[in-house]
């Protein structure tokens, strides 16, 4: 199989998967090493295929047209409800960011767009793989949220406000 044929198989597999695909899994599918898959992904990105790398593997980005940065503040116990509120209303939690007084801006990609993603994220937290970034900033954090329309973003923001999760963005904060 040629490199072009292999990359077509890789992009089709990522597009049609309901979950992230690891480099190893894509390598097994195409009969090459994980390192070759990484090189193929770089070539696909250069061709402007919207392939994103997550901590679980590669996904095909179905980029939303509209984004909004929301400042949040809540407890660890409310994290799952916060995330499910966003995805249930058609949003994607693109990332989480904090402003630390010593370390400055810290950002992590999440790409959570379904209840399944929320459940996987919460399972990782519960298993102790890590702790939420908000824990080092007294629960304050920012999310970039994307959706297909400004109306959907407004609905998400309203629902989060009603639940008491939104916080005011202060003039000096880096976003």
Q: What are the tens digits of pLDDT across the range 106-132?
A: 888 888 989 999 999 999 999 887 788
* Separation between Cα atoms, residue 27 and residue 53, nearest integer Å: 15
The sign of the dihedral angle between the CA atoms of 9, 14, 16, 19 is: positive
Looking at residue 139, what DSSP letter applies? Answer: T
Global confidence as pTM? 0.65
pLDDT in tens, 33-75: 999 999 999 999 888 788 888 888 998 876 557 889 999 999 9
Find the mean pLDDT for residues 124-151: 88
- Which domain-ending residue is among 27, 42, 60? 60
Q: Is 71 in the same domain as 149?
A: yes
User: For the domain that residue 54 is a member of, what is the CATH number?
Assistant: 1.10.10.10
Which residue range is the domain that position 129 belongs to?
A: 66-162
Q: Are 175 and 97 in contact (CB under 8 A)?
A: yes
């Amino acid at each position: 199989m040629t490199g072009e044929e292999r990359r077509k198989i890789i992009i089709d597999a990522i597009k049609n998967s309901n979950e992230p695909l690891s480099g190893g899994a894509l390598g097994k599918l195409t009969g090459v090493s994980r390192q070759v898959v990484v090189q193929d992904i770089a070539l696909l990105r250069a061709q402007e295929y919207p392939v994103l790398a997550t901590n679980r593997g590669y996904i095909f980005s179905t980029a939303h047209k509209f984004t909004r940065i929301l400042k949040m503040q809540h407890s660890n116990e409310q994290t799952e409800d916060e995330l499910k509120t966003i995805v249930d209303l058609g949003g994607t939690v693109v990332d989480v960011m904090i402003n630390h007084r010593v370390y400055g801006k810290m950002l992590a990609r999440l790409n959570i767009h379904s209840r399944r993603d929320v459940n996987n994220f919460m399972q990782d937290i519960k298993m102790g793989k890590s702790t939420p970034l908000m824990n080092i900033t007294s629960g304050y954090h920012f999310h970039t949220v994307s959706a297909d329309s400004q109306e959907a973003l407004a609905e998400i923001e309203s629902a989060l406000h009603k639940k008491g999760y939104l916080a005011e963005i202060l003039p000096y904060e880096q976003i």
